[in-house]
Amino acid sequence: MGVLDGISIIFILLILIIFVIKIYKDEKNSVKKPSNIVCEFSGELLNSRINEENKSEIEQFFSNHSKKIWLFLIVIVFFTVIYKFGEIPTYVGVDEIGMAYDAYCISEYGTDRYGNQYPLYLTNFGQGQSVLCTYLTVLFYKIIGVNTIAFRLPVLLIYILSVLASYLIVTKLNMNNVTCKNNKKMALIFIFLILTCPWNIVNARQALDCNLFAGMLMISLYFMIKAKKSYQFFISGIFIGLTLYTYCLAWITIPIFLIGYIIYMLYLKKINIKQIFILGLPIAILAFPLIYFILLNYGIVQNTNLGIFSLPILSEFRVQDINFFNIFKEGISSIKTIFMGEQTIYPMYIPLFIIGYIWGLADTIKSIKKKEFNINAIMVITFTTILLGLLTTKIPTANKANALYIPILYFVAIAILNIARNSKFILIAFFVMIMILFINFEYYYYTVDGIYMDNWYEDRYLMDITRKLEENEETKSKEKYLLVNKSSPYIYSAFAKKVSPQEFKDTYKYKQIRNSKNNTKNIKL
């Protein structure tokens, strides 16, 4: 934890002390007038005296300056995920380039690099890889050509769409069947937190298949909550089904989420059996190939082809790592990774999340008792069910838990909104503290973290070296070798040379010349 993180924790403690003192004074004065914010976003948990002048100023500011606020948010989008997109991070991960190369092979030859025709799951380096990012990359290859921007663009696109979906979930949907007067204020705070969150910035700039999970989940959630007519439920089912192709952990988390969501909506009589069937039909159709894939890798079925599509038999089947008892064995370690992992959320958000989640949970209970729809309850169900699903496997890196970070920020927004309680001073203090943390993160990301690769990544310049050797008249016809000490570097040269799947299978082999801790290898280019 850095100095700024420590200062931010002290800041939160001071804010909470002020908050508790204010509640104590309000209770002592026996004032029982509820805040609109508290009433509509926190289940009437708190009652306090509201400074009507401040309330008027704050509400009027958000109402009158919403366009300027959006312009400010767009500027943040530019500097966080659009500026030097495709250039930063300068490193390209092996899974990232593996996906990019498979997308090239599919776009040109209709197979992945191993010759599997239109695969519905990729082999990658033997552990597998989901395909939605790959097929979206194929589309962008056709439009703008084969380059770094093209294979990273799908993740950026889904991220931006998820931000819009998150905004619409709060502003366009009703709270307790009445329009919430503070929807816009809540939504803008929520979006501000999403756009300035370290993990979302890092996530949107790298083409890892799992990075689509978070965005597709929020887009799906918007369509599900909005659905009232049959075709809307069908569209929702399509998006949920496509989400299954973002990451293998969606196979366990999405079913748990759907069970929780459907039970809640059935209880409130917001959905009926017919609508559940319509919702489930496209999900079942899209899930079938993945169910077949699981059976294939367990040896229950044998055929690797489904019409024009194919499914691979993996050398290392990671679905076997999912185990209910991991919740108890690895749960604490996984939760630590989720909330305290590097480049995830600011440490000051942890207590805010806890506060916001408790308020949301109280709203969920009230919603159930009153049988009234509540968006906080939906977000509690989403976060809780996804978390339970993820905890059935070990979470060593934040990538595995990326679907949680937008819901986490939703509860942080609730906490900020209620703690500020129309206090202009506290709201500005929150804004300033977050901006300081955000600017600090951006500075280091653009000068250090996004420039210098770490031990998990290969150097993208291996692609440039390959291109130069192939363009040089003296070296292009000669066999070329590189002495490297990292895994699978051949994939960089294969992508740079744009070799065909057949040539890949025939010529891209490696001979290990030294078996040591640094795993040095002689790789044929």
Strands 305-306 and 309-310: antiparallel
Q: For 398, which DSSP code?
A: G
Tokens found for residue 129: 């890889």
Instruction: Read off the pLDDT band of 176 (50, 70, 90).
Output: very low
Instruction: Read off the pLDDT band of 476 (50, 70, 90).
Output: low
- Sequence-separated (6 or more) residues with CB below 8 Å from residue 307: none
Q: Which residues of 383-392 are buried (b: 16+ CB within 10 A; e: fewer)?
A: bbbbbbbbbb
> pLDDT tens for residues 285-295?
999 999 999 99
Instruction: Read off the pLDDT band of 341 (50, 70, 90).
Output: confident
Contacts by 265-269, CB closer than 8 A, 24 or more apart: 267/368, 267/371, 268/367, 268/371, 268/372, 268/373, 269/371
- Number of Cβ within 10 Å of residue 450's Cβ equals 20
**Single-letter code of the amino acid located at 450:** G
Out of 174-178, 200-204, 472-476, 480-484, least confident range: 174-178
Name 522's bridge partners: 483, 511
Q: What are phi and psi of 412, to 5 degrees?
A: -65, -40
d(CA 151, CA 153): 6
d(CA 480, CA 179): 67
Instruction: Read off the pLDDT band of 245 (50, 70, 90).
Output: very high
Identify the residue whose tokens are 């185990």: 323
pLDDT for res 146: 93
Q: Are 456 and 488 a contacting pair, CB within 8 Å?
A: no
Position 138 pLDDT exceeds 70: yes
d(CA 68, CA 78): 15
> pLDDT tens for residues 44-103?
444 334 444 444 566 677 777 778 888 999 999 999 999 999 888 888 888 899 999 999
Out of 209-218, 231-240, 304-313, 484-493, least confident range: 484-493
- Number of Cβ within 10 Å of residue 370's Cβ equals 12
pTM, 2 dp: 0.85
Out of 13-27, 452-466, 477-491, least confident range: 452-466
CA nearest neighbour of 11 among 435, 437, 433? 433
